[in-house]
Chain A
């Protein structure tokens, strides 16, 4: 009985949060739009660069033709849109401005409002991004062998990728409790994401040791893996293994969230709001 009640109240909470943050996001649509330009431009630039390399190297590079790259980067754009978080900047700002105290006073875990913020902003930007992707698809003619099983497997892969990314970045965001030098940590993190999540180039284009590193670290499972999966570049076995690894990372991340949050609150309250 308790669990059902809790679930119901959690859902109500999310619903309410959604309404509030959605309204705010609509207010900030101008800055969201500008942010979207960067989100689109980065994979687009790599798309064009790699296409150029591919065209100049006899049609394909590392198993990708120019159209293959187009498919890859457009899929990357969409997956990134779903899994992206900015929660690290958020917490650095909150700790600096002292706004975290309000979050701590509430009887609900702040992660819920953060998730709801995240999802509701994507609700606003996703339609636009879809339109942009379609237009870019007309321009760049992406190709990819889509199969039914891959597309179906893509859905849990996407959801797990979001969870892995959000939970781990949320935990990392709490570093703001311990240090003000969060900018440096963020930067290192984003650079690792760039290389090891498949943003600068599809991971198969990297030397073997980097690919091994990418498998061990969580970055590929946040972004690159669902992309490779939906584009049909993985076997069924690889896909299944990947989903399992994602699940493992989610569990690990949940544990970390719990531990780091508790430690962080202790540190924060010791210093004083």
Chain B
């Protein structure tokens, strides 16, 4: 079983966008001659996933993650290149293909708004032609794993954002798909709920052996679930490999944010001062030194507040893009 479950080879999606400057003159001119600009949303993307892998698909907003997922689930036709999921060409939208995949979009609901989720599940049961016994078993399993119990009987509009997301995910997995595309499933959720959903995804992958391709711009999602990450930016593949390697290579720093009275103090001996505003210093220190520097700061200075952060993913991506290690 070494056939890749997801296969992309130089997959491209180019949009033609009309470009126009502001002003009346430009508006008039655009009536006669429209200047089209080509935007490469996805640019020769190539990678393979094997069954059972949980892969993180990272990139800042507008990197092309959603566009790629849409092509892999058959919603968009690519402009070039090759793509195959479970051996099918996704954009042919064959029924046998659609029965084995699922797409969960973090900001959109497929559940019917005013009725209990259980009824939307029923709808999916008929659409996917699931035998009643299998369906019941799956629902029970998902209910247990996601702690859905009391939620299923409430109208979806009465659920909180996190509860709704859990039900959405359950609805998407009723047909036990072999390939699961998750597009920002934890966006907007509180930390506890994010963790809950991450645990579920890991558990589900374990039990079902499904391939999971997960996009996110939360590092925490990826750290918890994915051994392998694929990073894209401006539609191009920037990094494909071990998460550990990515983290090690590109986030060898930590950011310490210290709140002091004002900006007069000189903190250069503690680390690289990135900025200061109203007494709020942002320092960059090598990861290994984080504990020691924090200790010293707290001991030496009248610290009002202190925060230790990973550099934001955008910074990591920027570094990956500009090939700037450490």
> Is A in direct contact with B (CB under 8 Å) within the complex?
no
